[in-house]
């Protein structure tokens, strides 16, 4: 089984890990940076300009050019999960 590189970072204690990833907002932010390191890119037209729409706890990115809506977890292993990211 592969080592989870997020959980087992060298010289990162549990306290430090929880300081960086201990809330849902921190996990969402880290996941967003991992998914789009240079910022949001529309999967349909590759446009980088967007607006954010919040549907309850689901953060949605809407492309300003083609109006495609993409959730942070859409198309990933977390797609349609009912669980928070920090679990
Ligand atoms: Zn687009």
For residue 49, the enclosing domain spans 39-73
Sequence-separated (6 or more) residues with CB below 8 Å from residue 84: 24, 27, 57
Give pLDDT tens digits for 21-53.
899 889 999 999 999 999 999 999 999 999 999
Q: How far is the CA of 51 from the centre of ligand 1 (A)?
A: 11
Look over the chain and give the mean of its residue pLDDT values, rounded to a whole number: 88
Q: How far is the CA of 62 from the centre of ligand 1 (A)?
A: 8
- Identify the band that residue 3 occupies on the pLDDT scale cut at 50, 70 and 90: confident
Domain-embedded: residue 83? no
Domain-embedded: residue 23? no
Domain-embedded: residue 6? no
Q: How far is the CA of 85 from the centre of ligand 1 (A)?
A: 26
The residue among 76, 82, 47 whose CA lies nearest residue 62 is 47
Domain-embedded: residue 14? no
Q: Count of domains in the chain?
A: 1
What is the percent of the chain with per-residue pLDDT over 70, rounded to a whole number? 95
Q: How far is the CA of 46 from the centre of ligand 1 (A)?
A: 6
Domain-embedded: residue 67? yes
């Amino acid at each position: 089984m592969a080592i989870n590189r997020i959980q087992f970072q060298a010289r990162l204690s549990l306290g430090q890990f929880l300081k960086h990833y201990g809330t849902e907002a921190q996990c969402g932010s880290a996941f967003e940076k991992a998914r789009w390191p240079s910022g949001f890119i529309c999967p349909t037209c590759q446009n980088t300009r967007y607006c954010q729409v919040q549907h309850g706890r689901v953060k949605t990115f809407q492309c300003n050019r083609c109006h495609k809506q993409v959730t942070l977890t859409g198309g990933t292993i977390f797609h349609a999960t009912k669980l928070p990211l920090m679990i």
